[in-house]
Amino acid sequence: MGKADLIVGAQWGDEGKGKIVDMMAQDYDVVCRYQGGHNAGHTIVVDGVRYALHLIPSGVLNPKAVNIIGNGVVVAPGALIEEMKQFKNIEKRLFVSDKAHMVLSFHAQIDLAREKLRGKNAIGTTGMGIGPSYAAKIERVGFRLGELANIPKLVDNLLEYFRVNEVVFKALNIKLTSKEELGAELEAYAKELLPYMTNTTPLLWRYLEEGKKVLLEGAQGALLDIDHGTYPFVTSSSTVAAGACTGLGLSPKDIGKVTAIVKAYCTRVGNGPFPTEDFSEAGDILRKNGHEFGTTTGRARRCGWFDALACQYAARINGCDEIALMKLDVLDGFKKVKICIAYEKDGKRYTTLPENLDDIKPIYEEHEGWESVKGVRSYNKLPENAKKYIKRIEELAQTKVGIISTGAERFDTIVL
């Protein structure tokens, strides 16, 4: 039986997973997404054409690959249908778990209303309803995609859910559609999506038993994990490697090579602690050169220097075999580049990630910069200072760097 290789974000998301999955997917038969929703976004550039993916696995750009959206994903039916329109002839290349929970319009309304009520303590969610959908799943009152097979029953169940929550919905000013409008909306979803739906777990088992090469693709990053991230400023799903098992129906023994995706610097979207955030001109340069604006929301990302403690933590919790170091070219032109090698708080020095990151001060190690690595595709052609920077990251993260990205294009990549 084959193994499923795994790609996982090892920072706060937006690390560049899409490019690596797209590149690696050319050599895989099956690519699977296992958690998150359309709040995630992968930007992939192929032959100068930019694709923005939110739910469909990045393997969709390999015409030979099968793509699976697993049960751990929460799916906004309308968003998925719209995304599918970008691609032709995917009928036999896309399978969606009938166990995946739906994100419906009232989920998004709840999300936005709660964020507004939190005021200055807002988490900084995308407001797309991901959290409320996952919450309903855990409360056992959610709605699965497979329920689209029986629209009258689904409509009745939704109306009963609205009745039970009427007081809460009124307090949050949630506007609900009529029974007729709801039925018509769900019928449209069913017409488009039912042909793609199946129980994806035994399907994936079969592919592994047949020796197919399988790649698993995560969304967001390890530091946004619901259990192991910077809670409560996290996402609503399990973003670490273990989440791939529950999100697809695999056992730990099914997992093969684990690749951690990290930027050569750090970014974060939304609120929450970010020890190496840079508020000077350097942070602005990183944002501009790295085009650091959210694929899904367009929000400007907070930018800062590479955090070795966070990377070491993420590499360990994910059992990473190697690091894919992304966007090295964004550091081009800096006279000095920094790596956070420790934290300080109340006179105490930390060399591992502490539980509480509030009021943490980063301790930096400075390295000489370099002129340009843009488009370099051979390790030997990298500037010596860039090589030293990479080597230092390996030492601090205690994980080897196996892939280096030097540009947005698929093949602006060095594989060691």
Q: Which two tokens stand for residue 266?
A: 């750090």
Are 113 and 125 contacting, i.e. CB atoms less than 8 angstroms apart? no
Q: Choose among 219, 202, 334: nearest CA to 280.
A: 334
Catalytic residue among 22, 29, 42, 367: 42
Those residues with Cβ within 8 angstroms of residue 106's Cβ, 6 or more apart along the chain or in another chain? 129, 162, 169, 174, 176
Are 32 and 217 contacting, i.e. CB atoms less than 8 angstroms apart? yes
Residue 103 DSSP symbol: -
The C-alpha torsion from 183 through 188 and 190 to 191, rounded to 10°, is: 140
CA dist list (Å): 411 to 27, 100, 211, 218, 375: 14, 34, 27, 21, 8
The CA-based angle 337-410-310, given to 5 degrees, is 40
Catalytic residue among 5, 14, 225, 254: 14
Are 374 and 336 contacting, i.e. CB atoms less than 8 angstroms apart? no
What's at 172, amino acid-wise?
Answer: L
What is the C-alpha to C-alpha distance for residues 128 and 239, in angstroms, rounded to an integer?
Answer: 18
Q: Which two tokens stand for residue 198?
A: 């199946």
Please say if 42 is a catalytic residue.
yes
Please say if 54 is a catalytic residue.
no
Number of Cβ within a 10 Å radius of residue 346? 6
Are 85 and 54 contacting, i.e. CB atoms less than 8 angstroms apart? no
Size of the chain in residues: 416
Active site members = 14, 42
